Amino acid sequence: MTVVIRRIRHAFPVIGSPVSLQSSHRSKQQFQQLVAQAASKSVASPIKDKERVKVEIDWFSEGIKNKPDADNIAKPILDALKGVIYSDDKQVESLTVRKHDTLGVISFWEEPLSIVEPLLDGIKDYIFVRIY
């Protein structure tokens, strides 16, 4: 029998619109700095090399259908977390990326309240990252 226990190790918002894998080097670098800064507030040191992690990214934006594909925003975020949350992105054993249009109804089940705090503050474009 296999038992899977999911425990959030780190969860944090990154205010601003994510960049696509195809974005310019400069905009990618600026966004990755934002991600690394937000992540560093939730962790003292990276998760050890031998430990595996699961990453979930929720992207909240007004009018999401004209935005980049979810798969294209994942790699810059994962790269930004390297050295901050985990030592190497080879530690990521699963990845989930979801887009949410803030003009519609958004529902959650068993999520931390902090996932919607930016929305409650009037912020309409951000990502929320969870590391398990």
pLDDT (tens digit, 9 = 90+) per residue, 61-82?
Answer: 998 776 778 889 999 999 999 9
What total number of domains does the chain contain?
1
For the whole model, what pTM was predicted?
0.89
Q: Cα-Cα-Cα-Cα dihedral of 91, 69, 61, 97, to 10°?
A: -30
- The answer to whether the CB of 51 falls within 8 A of the CB of 10 is no
Give the domain CATH number at 119: 3.30.1330.70
Q: What is the pLDDT of residue 3?
A: 59
58 CB-near residues (< 8 Å, 6+ apart): 98, 100, 115, 127, 128, 130
- In sequence order, the β-bridge partners of residue 47 are 86
Residue at 76 is within a domain = yes
| Range of the structural domain that residue 23 is part of | 10-131
Mean pLDDT for the stretch of residues 50-54: 94
Residue at 2 is within a domain = no
CA 88/CA 48 separation, integer angstroms: 9
pLDDT (tens digit, 9 = 90+) per residue, 82-129?
Answer: 999 999 989 999 999 999 998 888 888 888 889 999 999 999 899 999
Residue at 87 is within a domain = yes
Residue at 105 is within a domain = yes
CA 17/CA 73 separation, integer angstroms: 10
Residue at 104 is within a domain = yes
